[in-house]
Every structure is written in C-alpha cells, then in structure tokens.
Amino acid sequence: MTGKSYDAIVIGAGHNGLTNAAFLARAGLRTLVLEKNHYTGGATVSRELHEGWKYSNCSYVCSLFRPEIYNALDLGRHGLKVIPLTASMTFKQDGDYFGSYHDPHARRRELMRHNLRDADAAVRFDADVMRWCRLIRGFLLRTPPDPGSFRPRDAFEFAYLLKKFYELSENQLYEFIRFFTMSIAEYLENYFEDETILAHYSGGSIIGTGLGVYSPGTAYVLLHHAMGDVDGNIGAWGFARGGMGAVSGAIASAFQAHGGELRNDAEVARILVSGNKAVGVRLTSGEELMARIVVSNLDARRTFTKIMDANDVPPSLLERARQFKIRGSSGKLNIALDGMPTFPALPDDSPLTLGHMHFTDTLERLERAYDDWKDDRWSADPYADTLIPSQYDPTLAPPGKHMMTVFVQYCPVEPDGGWTDEKRDRFGRTVIDQIADYSPDFKDLILHAEIRTPRELEDEVGLTEGNIFQGELTFDQLLFNRPFPGYAQYRGPVKGMYMCGSSTHPGGGVMGAPGTNAAREILRDLRRPDTTPEAFSDD
Amino acid sequence: MTTDRYDAVVIGAGHNGLVCAGYLANAGMRVLVCEASPAIGGMAAERRFGDGKQYSLPALAHLQFPVATTLREDLKLDSFGYSAGDPVETVTLARDSEPVILGAENVRGGTLGDADIAAYPDFSKRYREFAAALAPLFETKPPRLRNPAGGDRSTFMRLGWKVRFGLGRENMYEFLRVAAINVYDVLNEVFDDERLKAAIAFDAVIGNAMGPRTPGTVLAWLQRLHSERHGPPALSNGTLVAALARSAETAGAVIRPGCEIERIVVENGRATGVALAGGETLEAGIVVSGIDPRATFLRLVGAPQLDAMFANRVRQIRGAGVVGKLHLGLEGLPEFSGIDASQLRDRLLIAPSMRHIERAFNASKYGECSEHPVFEITVPSLADPSLAPEGRHVMSVNVAYLPFGLKGGWAENRSAVVRHLLAELESYAPGIASQVTDHELLSPADIERDYGAVEGHWHHGELSIHQSLMLRPLYGAAQYDTPVERLYLCSAGCHPGGGVTGLPGRNAAKRILEPGAVS
C-alpha cells in the first residue's frame, strides 16, 4: 500500500462535494477532493466549448444556493457575484405574450391585461406560497429524523418539526398537505383562470422531473422558485457572473484557503473498506490514498453499485440502490449567437428578454410534452426554459455576441433503439425550430450549438441516467426516505463512509445543503466543533 | 306547508344512505330516507335495458366485496337475506396466449415466470398488511389535525402504533416509502409479467382519472384493499341493498322512493328540513346527505348559504368521471380467446400492459376516448339466469377511459363510441358483435343524469391524496359534519371513499350519534 494519508477524502468535485470538503477543511481536517474530470465543478461549471464563449453547460441558474453557506464560506470574497434574475415570460401562439415583471406594479398591470380576477388572485397566491416557503426554508439545513429509530436525537427532531408545523392554524395545516400532494396545474387552478398564466407558472414545476403538470406532487416545486434568496431578494433567481463555474470556483477557492487539496483527473475506482470501516480509496490509475473518512458526492446508485465492493454493502441496500429512481428527463442546448435575436411579439427594449423565456402557452401542450416522455420519446413540442445571460454578463460572449442557454423538458433516458448522434441532433432541431417560430432571425445567428441529452450528462458528468437531481424527487425519495429508508442521515453502510450529493436530503438544485448537512454529521461523529452554519431564523 | 317531522332525513337511498339510516334508526331516531328515483340502491341498484327492457343487471357496481363484519352484525344483515355472493377470480385476457389468473392468494397461467409466481403471495400479503395498518383510519371519522375531538387522539395513537409496531421496522420503512407514490414504479420493482402488473394496476386506478404512473395510486389501491380484506370479490347479487333496506325499515325507518329533494332548508346557518320537488316541506332534526357532496352544497344548500371561500373550495373538488358502462344483451355466451366457458363466471380484464392503461388514460386528459380502452367484464346472467330471457345472456362491461367532458359531446358521438368499443371487444371475442341483440352505453354524462353523481364520478370525487382522509371531500366538512349546523354527509364523497363498503355511511352515523353531537 502506497500513497499519502488524509483525514478525509471527498469523491467528486461537484458543488456539494466542494461545500462538504470546505466545511471539513475549515474544521481543521486534512481534506482531499478527487475529481475524475480535468475541470472542477461537476454539473456546476462554465466551459469554453466554442472559442470566446462560456457555457454553463449543465446547471444554469442559482436561486437555491443557501445564503447561510455563502456567508459562512465568505464566497463573495472568493469571487462569487450573483445577479438577480427577476423577469420571466411566455410567448403565446396568437402573437401575444404574458410577462411576469420584477416591478410589482408592472406585473399587476400585465396580469390585469390578461385576466382581472387573476390579478387579484395573485395577491392571495403570493402570500400563500411565501408562507410555505418560510416554513420549509428552516428545514433545509437540518438532518431528517429517522422514523425507525428510538434515539432521543431523532425523537427530538420529530418533536421540533411537529412544533414548527403546529405554529400553523388548522386550516393552514390542511392547505399545506394539499400544497405538498397536489399537481401544479390543479393547485394553480385554485387561483388562476387564464390559460397562459396557468401554463406560465406551471412550467417551472416539471423541470428535471419525471412528472407532468397534472401529476400529483408537482405543486410544491413552486418553492424552488419562491425559496431563492439572491442578495436578499427572496423569490429571485440568480445568475452567477462568469457562469455556474463561478459558484464551484468560489467554493473550491474557499476550500483551498482552508488548506484543502484538490486533484483533477483522479477517478476513484473503489472505496476501500477494511473491518467494516472505510479506510481510503483506490484510483483507476491503481494509486491508493488512505483516509479515515470517505465521502461520496456521486449519486446513490453509482456510489453503491460502481465504486463500492458488493461485499461491503448489505444486500438489501444494494437492492435499494439498483432500484433507486433516477430517470433523467431533461436536455440542454447551449448556443453561441452572432447577435441578439429579435422577438417580434415583444415591444422594443422590453425587459422580458432579460429573464426566462418560454414558448408553451397551455397546460395541454405541457402535459402532452410529458406523454411523449412516458413513451420514451423527446417532446415534439417541448417546454424550453430559455435565457440569454450575456445581456448582463459580458464575460460570457465577445462584445456584440450572445450566449443562449435552453433547458429542455422532456428528453428520454433512452429513446427507442438508443441514442445516436443523429437522434441527438434531431432533438436539438426540435428545440431550435420551436424558438425560431417566435424569433425569425434566430436560426441565422447560430454560430455553434452544444446539444445535451441524458446520455451526454451521464457520460461527461457522471449523473446516472442523466438525472439532474441525482435521483427523482418523489415522495419515496424525499426527507427520511432520501436516498433510502434508514440511510437518510448521510452515513453509509460502513463506518467512516458518508454521502453528500444531491441524492441525499434535501435533494437537487445548486443549493449546497446536502454537502453542508453531511459535513455536520461527519464532524459530529468525529466530535469536532461544528463549522457549518445554522439556518437563518425566519426573517 | 309542514306535514311531518322526523329526527333525521337521509337524502338518497344509495347503499351508504341506507347504512346510515339503519344505524340511526337502530339508535331510536325517527328516520326518513328520500330517494329521487323510483327504485332504491343508487349505483348498486338493478337496471333494465333492451327494447322490451328484457335484460337486467347491476347498474354500476357489478362486483362487490363482502361488507365488513361489524357492519354485517350491527345491522343484522344476514338475517335480512344478505349473502356475500359467489367469489370470483380475475382473468386477464390476451389475444393470442393463455390468460393470467389472479386468485386471492396466488397467481397462475399464461407465460408467467417462476419469479413472479413466487413473489406474488408475499407481495399480496404485504400490501394487505399495509391496508390493515390503516384500518384505524378507515373505520372511523378522520381525525382533525388540530383541535382534536371525540376520539381523534386515540385514532392517531392506534394508527401510529399499528404502523410502527404492527408492521415492524422493515415493513414500516417500506410502507413510508411507497404510501404516496405511484403503483407503476412499485410493480416494476417486484414483477416482470406485463399482464400481471397491469391487472394489479387496474385495481389501483379504476374509477379515478389516474393512470398507473400517477403519484398517489398506491394509496388509492390501499383504500380499495382495505375493503377487500373481508373476502374475495363476488358478482353483485343485489341482496345487499335489499337487506340494508329491510334492516333499516325493521328498525323503524321509512324509505320513500320517487321523492326528490329540491333543497335543504337552512335557517340562520342551521338545517331545519328539506323541501321536496312537489312543494312539500319536511321538518327534520338533522339532514344527512347521501348524495355527492358537490351536489349537496352547491345545488341543495346553495352557495349563498355558505362562506364564499368554502363554496369556492367545493367548486374545486376534483371528480370528473372517466369510466363508462357498456351493457350487452347477447344471443348466447360469448367466446373469448384463450378461456373456456366456465371462466366466464370470473372477472375478465382486458389490460395487456401498464403502458396500455397509461396510454388509454392519456387520451382522457384531453377529452378523448381511449383508442384502445381498458375493459372489466362480467356475465351476471351466468350466476342468475333470470337476468336475461331464456337462452340469452347479459354482459356487463366497465370501460375506461371515457371522459365526462368528451370533445364534441356525448349525444353526437355515442354511436361511434359504441361501434369502436364493440370492434375492440371483437378482437378478444371474435363474433361477439353479431351476438348482440340489445346494447346500452352509460357514459359518465348518463351516470350523472341517472344516478346523480356529479360529472358521473364513481366515488363522488377523485381518491387522490389531496382529497383523502381529513381532506375528503374537503376540510371543514371532513368529519361528516358541515359548516351548516345539523347537516351531515354520508356518501362515497366522504372518507373513506367509494366502493360498496358502507363505511362512509357507518362512520357518519357513528359521528352523528356521538354524545352531544345532536341536541
């Protein structure tokens, strides 16, 4: 056995792995992060795939990143600057559009232009969603209690959750259950009438999921939009200056400032276990590195079926890992543009091009897009979340040129007969054609387009089946069930082995919470002082 | 114009109304049951069709599960002629191979692999245990989450105990994992055979606007399994409704068919009686509605009598029917590929795969009929030859998915839909179309017209999670009482929902009879 020895090794330099490592290093542990790719960040990256352009080619916005972590790691000083993204809009097939403006008066006027009653309902809607948001935010940086345990700590945590919920009135409790179990379409129909308004506010709830707008369990995803916290703008989405790589870059910089060591091109082949205890890792190169703590930032399926020896994993856990639901459903286009495309439906100088642009204006179109995915096809008429961030971040494209990112729902893990490059390009054309319907000069401006299906996401970044959340966010894989019942407290099946990726509570999105929570549990087991932040109190 | 005064008027002589009336009458109340149609039984009544009305069959509930023992004993149903009927198995058909047969304990036939055959008994047992763990919740009024009253605390404690200790640690973890997800993923984890999975998924979705992939279908299935644990399904034989009626009448209840109620009289926020369609007003100590909660609040009570937000929430109750009923009068017994005549006595399913069901469901979301529908078929005249003229037979078919709001309208498209359904059946039972002497299609719109279920929904509202338990039919009216004082609900629209279980009626009666509930 050769190689250096560490206190902790973190496998994978995704944003959660780096966050986890940063808190461990901050506690004085000699920490090493190993990354298989030559670049750092996992799915939180900015890559120059066309000369002069930077693509955030996986994740593309950061609304969920916890401000507590931003403060604790002092990410501002490490170069992270988040620009609030406050507008969104949907183009209608009849040539009109619906805009959701940052300015509350403009937003209200726009709602009124479409439906007077909806403008009033929006007041009720905003207040209700904000209530659930304030309730849930407090739970993100906490470890879920284990319902099968009798330890005082779990009982205490259950009591804490119960107490928090019982601050709600009886009717609010019922409304909360409805919110968590309804479909986004039906939930919004409790408030709104206008078809375009319904479609506009529904779209975000299907991002990354294997569910449709009428599938129960999609309403609560609204929180992902409301929970954002950018520079104190609650509810705002944000764009990191320099692309998403700036997020992972800042965390990596904070990690290194605390003495951490980061190695790229170092793929882990095996977590080494001896005497039911993790002792280190072996790289694909054969090199062995020893540590008393090993943390996996890989998804739960990969962790237990690929880099752990089957003999080190209890058979029931291995079975769970094989059955872990991690179907990908999203594609992505990153496009270099020769200039700013025009959208004739919009007035000149409309601020709406600065935000999210969508092209699906009815619930039926959104639901039909889902039907395609259920039958293993990409959506013929997809939901495309489109942004042109180069309008306010000059670092992304040369002067006068632009960068467009298009997140596409739905794209199958594997179409009939498997993916080929030709099929991938046809998928890309479907999306480009949809946008071109609303922007006549768009196609002529395209200089380069990177098209990504779940196949590319798995091959390059290592997200199994291309699932952007490292595991579907359905009730069987949430809270104390995430990733598996009995294993939701970040600890693996052998001593000294932990999980810190989005496969763990509270799940996907560039949030940093799983990595932080895992660090808290590790430091607790080592009886080290806790370096992780507590959740901000509720305002 | 007041003519009479009752302690309780029950609206609707469906089986839940009769159960509730029976309990109230047995407790010494003077009870009147008003039924709008000429016959009692609601969706569980008999129905006649054909040119000369020569065919007869169960209206909608062509299969029944034995009712709970407590109900049977409390209302002495056996002494009034109730029998649980002849148990049947489920036979799932294929065009070109042997059928798969699901019995109570095991599964056999077709091209089933050994792994599936071996896994089925354990799977079945496990889910029955889950359903049993929920029994404390199903067999009483749903507890309130705050301000618990009258046994709510004990319901929570019994439920918690059953889930944690009744199931044991491993089963509890599994229960908490699957309780709120879809049946599609669960079945894919356990079984390989498409038809076996589809047959189980069928039971989880039927009656609701859900496909196998819809989250919440496991819970919907558990609700159904709970009523099934009293025994295997049987062909509906009509004795339940008759026994319930006799039981109630023996206890002193009066049942009045052909007595349509126009509105519930509400004075100062309190129900004081009912106004009949003929103009007569009946005073009552309490009014119990055995009809759809949406019809109860919006039609019989009226939105002006309700808080605006409450009325708004009633309007938001989801429940547009997606199941139609096809009745065929046949010259002789049909011949289905792959099965012999004796198997026609069972429940036949045409649902070749979960994807087939899901696609059939997809169409209904957009107001279209399924291109390849799902069928549940029984031949009631085999058990009771009197249902059809000599030598003939009557076939009863549940068809999913036929949407309530069919694009283009039901009146315009009815015959095209019937032709389409017969052509589909023909491919499983060659020659059946030429055997048909008479037919009748009950679309969800017809079910609404004939049986009063709003939008023709079997369960008076979807059995989705957000409309289950203490949210059924909606919070504020989930413990069988309502914002209108002395007005109660007892239909399938209430907890624990549809199926011929009598539980909503029984739970409602228990709630009404709680000490101090009615002065």
Q: Which of B88, B116, B83, B135 is nearest to B187 (CA)?
A: B116
CB contact under 8 A, B180 and A169: no
CA distance A21 to chain B (A): 30
Q: Would you call B483 an interface residue with chain A, using a CB distance cutoff of 8 Å?
A: no
**B491 vs B193: CA distance, rounded Å:** 37
Q: What is the pLDDT of residue A333?
A: 98
- Does pLDDT of B375 surpass 80? yes
Tell me which H or E stretch contains B418.
helix B410-426
| Residue A454 CA, distance from chain mean position | 15
Q: Does B401 sit behind a cis peptide bond, omega within 30 degrees of 0 on the bond before it?
A: yes
Portion 440-459 of A in contact with B at CB < 8 A: none
In the structure encoding, which two tokens stand for residue B77, read together?
Answer: 């149903």
- For A229, the 3-state DSSP assignment is strand
Portion 192-221 of A in contact with B at CB < 8 A: 211, 214-217
Q: Using CB atoms within 10 Å of the CB of residue B490, give its burial: 0 to 12 exposed, 13 to 18 middle, 19+ buried.
A: buried
CB contact under 8 A, B179 and A325: no
A148, A174, A474 member nearest B470 (Cβ): A174
- pLDDT digit string, tens, across residues A227-246: 666 555 555 678 899 999 99
- pLDDT digit string, tens, across residues A378-411: 999 999 999 999 999 999 999 999 999 999 999 9
Q: How many CB atoms lie within 10 A of CB A213?
A: 27
What letter represents residue B267's amino acid?
A: E
Q: Would you call B180 an interface residue with chain A, using a CB distance cutoff of 8 Å?
A: yes
Sheet order of strands, A88-91 included = A97-100, A88-91, A356-358, A383-387, A402-409, A330-337, A446-452
**B234 vs B341: CA distance, rounded Å:** 18
Portion 124-153 of B in contact with A at CB < 8 A: 144-147
Q: Does A389 sit behind a cis peptide bond, omega within 30 degrees of 0 on the bond before it?
A: no
Residue B214 · residue B116 · CB < 8 Å: no
Give this prediction's pTM: 0.96
Q: What is the pLDDT of residue A294?
A: 98
Residues making up chain A, counted from first to last: 539
Name which residue leads in pLDDT, B488 or B104. B488
Beta strands of A75-123 (E only): which ranges? 82-85, 88-91, 97-100
CA distance B502 to chain A (A): 26
CA distance B269 to chain A (A): 21
- pLDDT digit string, tens, across residues B1-13: 445 689 999 999 9
Interface A-B, measured as beta-carbon pairs within 8 A, has a size of 83
Q: Does B430 sit behind a cis peptide bond, omega within 30 degrees of 0 on the bond before it?
A: no
Q: Would you call A155 an interface residue with chain B, using a CB distance cutoff of 8 Å?
A: no
How large is the average pLDDT for residues B189-203? 96
Residue B373 · residue B421 · CB < 8 Å: yes
Q: Which of B169-173, B319-323, B326-330 has the lowest mean pLDDT?
A: B169-173
CB contact under 8 A, B146 and A170: yes
Q: Would you call B215 an interface residue with chain A, using a CB distance cutoff of 8 Å?
A: yes
In the structure encoding, which two tokens stand for residue A165, read together?
Answer: 């919920």
- For B83, the 3-state DSSP assignment is coil
**A405 vs A451: CA distance, rounded Å:** 10
Q: Which of A158, A163, A174 is the best substitution to test chain B (most B C-beta atoms within 10 A)?
A: A174
Residues of B in contact with A412 (CB under 8 A): none
Q: Using 50, 70 and 90 to split pLDDT, how confident is the model at B147?
A: confident
Question: A160 to each of A57, A140, A142, A166, A475, how far by Cα in Å?
Answer: 40, 14, 11, 10, 21
CB contact under 8 A, A181 and B464: yes
How large is the average pLDDT for residues B237-250? 94
Q: What is the pLDDT of residue B228?
A: 78
Query: Percent of chain A at pLDDT above 70?
Result: 96
Q: Which of A408, A325, A333 is nearest to A369 (CA)?
A: A408
Q: What is the pLDDT of residue B2?
A: 46
Q: What is the pLDDT of residue B518?
A: 59
pLDDT along chain A (539 residues), means of 10: 82 98 98 98 95 93 85 95 88 97 93 97 91 86 92 94 92 95 96 97 94 96 70 67 96 98 98 97 97 98 97 96 96 98 95 96 98 98 97 95 98 96 98 98 98 96 96 93 96 98 93 96 97 79
User: Secondary structure of A506-537 in the HEC alphabet?
Assistant: CCCCCCCHHHHHHHHHHHHHCCCCCCCCCCCC
Residue B236 · residue B78 · CB < 8 Å: no
What letter represents residue B358's amino acid?
A: E
- pLDDT digit string, tens, across residues B310-327: 999 999 999 999 999 999
Q: Would you call B491 an interface residue with chain A, using a CB distance cutoff of 8 Å?
A: no
Q: What is the pLDDT of residue A229?
A: 60
Q: What is the pLDDT of residue A225?
A: 67
- Does pLDDT of B517 surpass 60? yes
Residues making up chain B, counted from first to last: 519
Residue B346 · residue B317 · CB < 8 Å: no
User: Secondary structure of B419-475 in the HEC alphabet?
Assistant: HHHHHHHHCCCCCHHHHEEEEEEECHHHHHHHHCCHHHCCCCCCCCHHHCHHHCCCC
Dihedral of the CA atoms B466, B472, B476, B480 (nearest 10)? -170
- pLDDT digit string, tens, across residues B458-486: 999 999 999 999 999 999 999 999 999 99
The DSSP symbol for A264 reads S
Name which residue leads in pLDDT, B172 or A221. B172
**B315 vs B335: CA distance, rounded Å:** 46
